[in-house]
Amino acid sequence: MSEDRVTEKAPAVGSRGGLTALLTCAMAFSMLQLFLLGALGPRLVDDLDISATVLGLTTTIGFGTAAVLSPSSGRIVDRVGPRRALVTLLLVSAVALGLIGAAPGAGILLAAVAVGGLPQALANPATNKAILATVAPAGRGSVTGTKQSGVQLGAFAAGLPLVALAAWAGWRGAVWTAAGAAVVAALWALRVLPPDPPAKGTAPRTTLVPRGAIAWLAAFSLLLGCGIASVNTYLALFGVRELAMGPTAAGALVAVLGVAGIAGRVGWSKAATPGRAEWLPSRLAAGAVLAALLLAGALLVHQLAWVAAVAVGVFAVSGNAVSMVLVMQRAAPGRAGQDSALVSAGFFAGFAMGPPIFGLLAEAGRYGPGWLLVAAEFAAAGIVAYAWAWRERRKSTVPA
Task: Determine phi and psi for 267, rounding to 5 degrees.
Answer: -65, -50
Q: Which of 231, 234, 260 is nearest to 374 (CA)?
A: 231
Q: Given its phi and psi angles, is residue 170 left (phi above 0), alpha (psi -120 to 50 degrees) or beta?
A: left
Q: Which of 234, 191, 174 is nearest to 53 (CA)?
A: 234
CA–CA distance, 130 with 135 (Å, rounded to integer): 8
CA distances from 233 to 26, 37, 90, 273 (A): 21, 7, 22, 32
> Contact at 8 Å (CB) between 290 and 302?
no
pLDDT tens-digit readout, 197-236: 776 655 455 555 556 788 899 999 999 999 998 998 889 8
Q: Which of 222, 239, 231, 176 is nearest to 32 (CA)?
A: 176
Helix (H) or strand (E) segment spanning residue 151:
helix 137-159
pLDDT tens-digit readout, 149-178: 888 788 778 877 888 898 888 889 999 999
**Could you tell me the pLDDT band of residue 397, with boundaries at 50, 70 and 90?**
low
CATH 1.20.1260.10 fits 16-198+207-397, yes or no: no
Its pTM stands at: 0.75
pLDDT tens-digit readout, 271-306: 888 778 889 999 999 999 999 999 999 999 999 999
